[in-house]
């Protein structure tokens, strides 16, 4: 009788674990969010409007070596990476690609520094 009870208990536990999952079906969907939230160069915040990022600088400012700090959607990545040095002189633009956590959703942003005349 005792062996039968223990055997039944072991079977019930095994069935319970199988029924509760443990497989990949329970994994939450990965986010498709891929936005640039903030784009900063030291104390200078740039504006993000749609897919355009603009930084305004005073006359004579050196925008040859800017290493912006970029905040993106949670679990997203950005390329070029936050902190990577970029040259924005002579009205050059830099394209930033944000990739969502899902690894397939992307958004392209174009950044430009404007130096006052």
Q: Is residue 47 assigned to a domain?
A: yes
State the total domains in the chain.
1
pLDDT at 31 over 70: yes
Residue 70 CA to residue 94 CA, distance in Å, equals 13
Both structure tokens of 65: 């070596």
The mean pLDDT of 90-110, rounded to a whole number, is 97
- Cβ-based neighbour number of residue 30 at 10 Å: 13
Q: Is residue 50 assigned to a domain?
A: yes
CATH code for the domain of 55: 2.60.40.2340
Q: Is residue 26 assigned to a domain?
A: no
Q: Is residue 17 assigned to a domain?
A: no
**Res. 26 pLDDT band, cuts 50 70 90:** confident
Q: Which residue has the higher pLDDT, 9 or 113?
A: 113
Closest by CA position to 66, among listed 111, 108, 107: 111
Residue 97: which H helix or E strand, with range?
A: strand 93-99
Termini Cα distance of the chain: 94
Range of the domain at 69: 36-115
Q: Is residue 24 assigned to a domain?
A: no
């Amino acid at each position: 009788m005792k062996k039968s009870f223990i055997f039944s208990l072991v079977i019930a536990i095994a069935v319970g674990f199988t029924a509760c999952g443990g497989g990949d079906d329970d994994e939450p969907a990965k986010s498709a969010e891929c936005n640039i939230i903030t784009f900063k160069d030291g104390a200078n915040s740039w504006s993000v409007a749609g897919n355009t990022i603009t930084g305004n600088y005073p006359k004579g400012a050196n925008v040859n070596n800017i290493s912006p700090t970029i905040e993106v959607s949670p679990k997203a990545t950005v390329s070029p990476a936050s902190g990577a040095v970029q040259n924005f002189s002579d009205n050059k633009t830099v394209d930033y690609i944000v990739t969502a956590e899902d690894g397939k959703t992307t958004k392209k942003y174009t950044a430009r520094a404007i130096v006052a005349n």
